[in-house]
Chain A
Amino acid sequence: MAYVIGAVFLSLTGYMFVSSVSNPFPEATIRGWVVTSTFIFVLWSPVLTMRLLAEEQKLGTLELLMTSPVKDYEVVIGKYLATLLILSGTLFPTIWYVILLFWFGSPDLWPILTSYLGLMLFGGATLAIGLLASSLTSNQVLAAVMSFGLLLLLTLTNNAALVTIGLSATILEEVSLIAHFEDFARGIVDVGNVIYYLSVIAIFVFAAIRSLESRRWR
């Protein structure tokens, strides 16, 4: 399944890359597909993560994992790292776009590197949210719906911030997954943004561990 998801991701970004460089005044950047691919992640991560723990619960294999001589957090973190690996595996072929840019133009390397860092952090955060959703239910579809809903909400708060003012606008903008991403695409690595994504990852992975542990007490 991961292959199919990966292929879909690549064909979409490929299309966006081509359309971003085939206008009359093309820019030698990858911003064209990088910013849009965050939206693809919002759709992509729930599907990639929905199976992780939900299926284990449905098949009863969770009982096997939890009675094996491994700690609960090892199970959860192992699963999370596996999805990160799939994420980077999917991003890896996009280096071809970068090679094409260097072949036909002279792009700035730095914004490209920061974009990839941003994509990994953004993707990692969406995967962590999907992981938690998957730990809460044995129904994969429900897990996907929950994480998709939460991800959509967290990206849309950015827009809601535009129509509000003052503290609420700040809060809405600060919690937005997208708002913290834009700097990376411009070549700016803000420590605050990095910490934001790492915190989201830590919080949701920790919650998933706790959610799994709580199954023992039910």
Chain B
Amino acid sequence: MANELQTMIEVEGLTKLYGDFVAIANLNFSVKKGEIVGLLGPNGSGKTTTMRILTGYMPPSEGIVKIAGYDVLSDSLSARARIGYLPETVPLYQDMEVGEYLTFMGAMRGMNNAKIKTRIDEVVDQVNIGHYLGTHIGKLSKGYKQRVGLAQAILHEPDVLILDEPTIGIDPIQVVETRQLIKAIGKDHTLLLSTHILSEVSALCERVLIIHEGKLVAEDTPENLGDKLRGGEKIQVDIHGPIAEVTTFLRNIEGVISVRQNDMGDVVRYIIDIKLGTSLLESLADLILQQGWGLRGLNSVSMSLEEIFLQLTSSDLKEEG
């Protein structure tokens, strides 16, 4: 047994420019065999571009990308043969039947007829589309189209599976089913998937790469990132009372990360960042009333992904400084 796990995706100094626009700036990461890694970032952060470069759809401007040891530029065909790819818009021929489509995709990957047949049987079972083999793809629901897309991606038993926003645009029930499907598939594949949904990452991935504006902002397990990520909960309280005292008091409450105040004349609005898991929202009102201050309002504010990224980038800066 090899004690060192093989690196399946290797990205070194990856940069992609569209004219003057920097889509990806000096990205470095690697994915080991069997890992499920999430690529998390807001829309336009460079997720799709990264995946398109990994799959050989477009060349990098600079840097080296290797899939299972094969360079995507110089050994493009060998690299591509080892990838199963599901782009963001599921690439389906609407007027083909599901079976025809899968057979065609198998042939494209150079599989022989017998192999295609056995693999279609297996894959169809795996993604549960057995009843629809003879159905025209255009007639399937979005969730089922997604399954056909997944079936296509795993058909040739690729070493690396790359899924771009696999749960986007399908209804909530089917999202849950699709996630379970991905989780099952991830058991025997190296998997890189992109998403802009936080909960999806913690539900599926063993490791998260967070990119923002084409840069790698953080890289860790969902648990370790948890404090940073899920700490992204805020409480907004309006208090009538002495600003300095209130601020120090709030800062000293356990579970509070930071306090910002915004003087609104009669009252002061405090925005408190708290750790998740602390039940501050319930106890905060009591604490404030015990001090004899006037409590005018209290509610929780959920953070947008953008804000979380801002928090992540700024906290990184603090650690460095």
- Whether chain B is bound by chain A comes out as yes
Q: Which of A61, A69, A71, A217 is the most central at the interface, judged by chain B CB atoms within 10 Å of its CB?
A: A69
Once the chains bind, are A59 and B94 in contact (CB under 8 Å)? Answer: yes
Does A60 have its Cβ within 8 Å of any Cβ on chain B?
A: yes
Query: With A59-B94, A69-B77, A69-B109 in contact, do A217 and B87 touch (Cβ < 8 Å)?
Result: no
User: For B252, what are the chain A residues with a Cβ–Cβ distance below 8 Å?
Assistant: none
Binary contact readout A51-82 vs B (1 if CB under 8 angstroms, 0 otherwise): 00000000111111111111100000000000
Q: How large is the interface on B (under 10, 10 to 19, 20 to 34, 35 or more residues)?
A: 20 to 34
Q: From residue A130, how far is it (CB to closest CB) to chain B in Å? A: 20
CB pair B77 A71 closer than 8 Å:
yes
A45 to B304, CA, bound (A): 53
Contacts of A64 in B (CB 8 A): 85, 87, 91, 105, 152
Residues of B within 8 A of A60 (CB): 87, 89-91
The segment out of B21-29, B55-63, B189-197, B267-275 that lies at the interface is B55-63
Contact B93 A61 (CB under 8 A): yes
B80 interface residue (CB < 8 Å to A): yes
B58 / chain A contacts, CB cutoff of 8 Å: 216-217
B93 touches A67 (CB 8 A): no
Which chain A residue shows the least CB distance to B77? A69
Q: Given the interface contacts A59-B94, A60-B89, A63-B87, does A216 sit within 8 Å of B81 by beta carbon?
A: no
B142 to chain A, nearest CB (A): 14
A63 touching B94, Cβ below 8 Å? no
Interface flags, B32-71, vs A, CB<8A=1, else 0: 0000000000000000000010011111000000000000
For the complex, is B92 an interface residue (Cβ under 8 Å from A)?
Answer: yes
CA of A66 to CA of B78 in the docked complex: distance in angstroms? 13
Is B110 on the interface with A (CB-CB < 8 A)?
A: yes
Q: Choose among A59, A63, A66 the residue that contacts B93 (Cβ–Cβ < 8 A).
A: A59
Q: Which residues of B contact A67 (CB under 8 A)?
A: 55-57, 80, 83, 85
The chain A residue sitting closest to B88, CB to CB, is A60
How far is the CB of B166 from the nearest CB of chain A, in Å? 14
Q: Are B83 and A217 in contact (CB under 8 A)?
A: no
> A63, A71, A217: which contacts B91 (Cβ < 8 A)?
A63
Nearest CB on A from B82, distance (A): 9
B108 interfacial by beta-carbon distance below 8 Å = yes
Query: What is the distance, in angstroms, from A173's C-beta to the closest C-beta of chain B?
Result: 43
Select which of A59, A69, A216 is within 8 A of B57 by beta carbon.
A216
Which residues of B sit under 8 angstroms from A69, Cβ to Cβ? Answer: 77-78, 80-81, 108-110
B109 touches A61 (CB 8 A): no
A66 touches B92 (CB 8 A): no
Chain B's closest residue to A71 (CB) is B77
Q: Closest CB of chain B to A71's CB: distance in Å?
A: 7
Q: Are the C-beta atoms of B92 and A59 separated by less than 8 Å?
A: yes
Shortest CB distance A152–B (Å): 30
* Chain B residues near A68 (CB-CB < 8 A): 80, 105, 108-109
Bound form: Cα–Cα A202–B86 in Å: 34
Please name all residues of chain A whose beta carbon is closer than 8 Å to the beta carbon of B92 when the two chains form the complex: 59, 61
Shortest C-beta distance, B2 to chain A (Å), equals 26
A64 to B153, CA, bound (A): 10
Task: Tell me the complex Cα distance, A63–B58, Å.
Answer: 10
CA distance A71 to B81 in the complex (A): 12
B78-121: which have CB < 8 Å to A?
Answer: 78, 80-81, 83, 85, 87, 89-94, 105, 108-110
Q: A68-B109, A69-B110, A71-B77 are in contact. Are A216 and B89 (CB under 8 A)?
A: no
Interface residues of B in 217-255 (CB under 8 A from A): none
Chain B residues with CB below 8 A from A63, complex form: 52, 57, 85, 87, 91
Q: Are A217 and B77 in contact (CB under 8 A)?
A: no
Q: How far is the CA of A67 from the CA of B89 in the complex (A)?
A: 14
Shortest CB-to-CB span from B234 to chain A, Å, is 39
Tell me the complex Cα distance, A7–B52, Å.
42
In the bound complex, residues from chain A placing their C-beta under 8 Å from that of B108 are: 65, 68-70
> How far, in whole Å, are A60 and B152 apart by their CA atoms in the complex?
14
**Nearest-Cβ distance from residue A67 to partner chain B, whole angstroms:** 4
A59-B93, A61-B92 are known; give 16 further A-B pairs, CB within 8 A. A59-B94, A60-B91, A61-B91, A63-B52, A64-B105, A67-B56, A67-B80, A67-B83, A67-B85, A68-B109, A69-B80, A69-B108, A70-B77, A71-B77, A216-B58, A217-B59
Q: Which 5 A-B pairs have the closest CB atoms?
A: A69-B81, A64-B91, A60-B89, A61-B91, A67-B55
Q: List 18 A-B contacts (CB under 8 A).
A: A60-B89, A60-B90, A60-B91, A61-B93, A62-B91, A63-B52, A63-B87, A64-B85, A64-B91, A64-B152, A66-B56, A66-B57, A67-B80, A68-B108, A68-B109, A216-B57, A216-B58, A217-B58
